Amino acid sequence: MRLLIVILNFFALTNAAKILFVSFTNSKSHIGSMLPLAQALSKRGHEVTLYVEVYKQLGDFNGIKSHYVILKEPEDNWAMNTFMDRVWNHEGAPSGMVFPHLIGNEALSEAVTQDDFWTVANQTWDLIISDEVFTPTGYGLALMHAERHGTPHAVFSTTDTLHVFTTMLSLNRNPALGPSYYTSHKEPLYWHAADFVSRLNSVRSTMVEYASIGILSEWLTSRAINQIGHIDFSWSHYYQTAALVYVDYPDRFTWPIANGNDLIFVGSFCTGSKALPKELEEFVNDPSSKGTVYVAFGSVVQWPFAPKRVVNAFVDALNNLTEYRVIWSYKGTPLTVKSHVRLVEWAPQIDLLHHPKTRLFVSHGGLKSLKEAICSETPVVYMPFFAEQIRTAMIGKQLGFAEYLNKFTIDAPMMIRRMSKILTDDSYQHSISRQKSLFDDRIASSLQEGVFWTEKVILQGKTVFFKRSGMKLSWFQFLHLDLFIGMISILAIVARS
């Protein structure tokens, strides 16, 4: 029996693969999206390494090898100041997507001067999985190893796949049939396919996204990747050669959209929770409390950059909820709050949301926060900032489990009304409980499915799916311009004869 176990373990080890994950520069959020799949593959016995360019090490990743390339932190923090100004004070715009691509390009330019980068680049890998956006290091390593060793590569979308990339995948998603990432914050928060203005705004945003990412960012990224020896980078070639595209966005949460069998949705799963630390447990279990309100805006949105009027609105509104206990994940200048409000720099979010006394989650609408709200069946008040957050808030409101705060017009009375509406109306709870029943009702977990297809690609050494023929078409052909010109020419000839 012992000999059989030894033989089986040896067989498992000889079939273990070396897998490299590459995440966007210094992004805890993107790493957090990629980690569950990486950890699931590690538990299967594969050697998984996470490569990330950072200003300082981000800690351990529970069984995943971390390979850091330490960058020199900018002295003037111009990039962070500019980004936070856009987060708090501007509408999300597709033209703004160029800026984080520049951050990734600069990170690669600095990384290639360090031995730590080439330590990873000169290894052999069985699969390279790169962050979908802002990660020229991942694109370059994937294509370089494909040329040198025939290594398959995959793309990991840490949210829903950007429209410009779905076109590269020949999915033909009509931009007029759903709201874009760049929908206006104006109230009422509204989008409908039958509304001309809604469709017009989505198409306009998509066109600007194509110009910003499909053309300008592609050119900038190509110049960065040239530094590691890969010439003539293009999004089209990168997606044509990708074996898989992992998608972290839930597959049962939005409008019906075109998908392919090479898109593997790995984000629809729930994790367990633990008991709260004693101090928090005693705070939320106060017998005079009607329940807990939890406020958190993720790792990207930073309170020191918030307009004073927004901070004052939060302080006044939360101080007003004297019948509840409030935990506010806040890192900024000192604030004066009442005894029922607890300010913490970090909170165990999953554990808090699953606590039986938690009644409401005030969130920015980030993807992981969305999934954690659904898994814990906690209604939400959203104050979105950028990317998928505005669309998440819109969907949550239309599905009946969320209310919305406009970051440009928020004040304390508005915030009190929206929170009180959820706290006093059980329909929000019923709605998000229904979403939970749809979210994780599946034959196999999304992570198990992701592991299955990953191992299949590694075993074959290439994609295991048929590619859509449209991926090979040029823009001229994809937009049917050749057919249009041909028809016009024929009509012109007929008209003259």
Burial code (b: 16+ CB inside 10 Å, e: under 16) for 24-42 equals: bbbbebbbbbbbbbbbbbb
Residue found under tokens 């020896």: 229
Are 462 and 472 in a shared domain? no
Quick check: 335 and 259 in contact, CB under 8 A? no
Are 403 and 293 in a shared domain? yes
Q: Tell whether 257 is covered by a domain.
A: yes
Q: Tell whether 11 is covered by a domain.
A: no
CB atoms near residue 173 (< 10 Å): 16
CB atoms near residue 390 (< 10 Å): 26
Are 56 and 128 in a shared domain? yes
How many C-alpha atoms does 227 have within 13 Å on its Cβ side? 21
Name, in order, each residue with C-beta under 8 angstroms of 480's C-beta and a sequence gap of 6 or more: none
Are 156 and 188 in a shared domain? yes
Q: Tell whether 10 is covered by a domain.
A: no
Nearest CA to 247 among 329, 307, 158? 158
The tokens describing 316, both together, are: 């006044």
- Helix (H, G, I), strand (E, B), or coil: what is residue 356? coil
> Which residue segment(s) compose the domain that 25 sits in?
16-269+451-466
Residue found under tokens 């008040």: 381
pTM for the full predicted model? 0.91
The total of structural domains in the chain comes to 3
Are 57 and 155 in a shared domain? yes
Strand partners, 22: 51, 130
Residue 306: alpha-carbon gap to chain centroid: 22
User: Phi and psi (nearest 5°) for 470?
Assistant: -65, -20
Sheet strands (E) in 256-352: 263-265, 292-296, 325-329, 341-344
Distances (CA, A) of 332 to 26, 278, 301, 303, 328: 20, 25, 11, 6, 12
- Domain of 291, CATH number, reads 3.40.50.2000
Q: Tell whether 2 is covered by a domain.
A: no
Q: Tell whether 446 is covered by a domain.
A: no
Name, in order, each residue with C-beta under 8 angstroms of 189's C-beta and a sequence gap of 6 or more: 390, 393, 394, 397, 404
The amino acid present at 181, given as its one-letter code, is Y
CA distance 25 to 401: 34
Distances (CA, A) of 50 to 65, 67, 142, 163, 311: 6, 6, 14, 27, 36
Q: Tell whether 9 is covered by a domain.
A: no
Strand partners, 155: 130, 245
Residue found under tokens 């900032």: 385
Sheet strands (E) in 71-206: 127-131, 153-157
Nearest CA to 30 among 387, 481, 471? 387
Are 214 and 357 in a shared domain? no
Are 426 and 297 in a shared domain? yes
Q: Tell whether 3 is covered by a domain.
A: no
Rounded-to-5 percentages of helix, strand, coil across the chain = 50, 10, 40
Are 263 and 295 in a shared domain? no
Are 338 and 238 in a shared domain? no
Are 262 and 375 in a shared domain? no
Distances (CA, A) of 253 to 49, 432, 440, 463: 31, 11, 11, 27
Residue found under tokens 């006044």: 316
Render each residue's pLDDT in the chain as its tens digit; 497 residues: 454 444 444 344 447 999 999 999 989 999 999 999 999 999 999 999 999 999 988 888 887 999 999 999 877 767 778 888 888 999 888 888 888 888 899 999 999 999 999 999 999 999 999 999 999 999 999 999 999 999 999 999 999 889 899 989 998 788 888 888 888 888 888 888 889 998 999 999 999 999 999 999 999 999 999 999 888 899 999 999 999 999 999 988 777 888 899 999 999 999 889 999 999 999 999 999 999 999 999 988 999 999 999 999 999 999 999 999 999 999 999 999 999 999 999 999 999 999 999 999 999 999 999 999 999 999 999 999 988 899 899 989 999 999 999 999 999 999 999 999 999 999 999 999 999 999 988 888 999 999 999 999 999 988 888 888 888 887 778 778 888 899 999 999 998 87
CA distance 403 to 182: 19
Q: Tell whether 32 is covered by a domain.
A: yes
Are 388 and 299 in a shared domain? yes
Are 358 and 330 in a shared domain? yes
CB atoms near residue 460 (< 10 Å): 11
Residue found under tokens 């790169």: 130
Quick check: 428 and 379 in contact, CB under 8 A? yes
Residue found under tokens 């165990």: 348
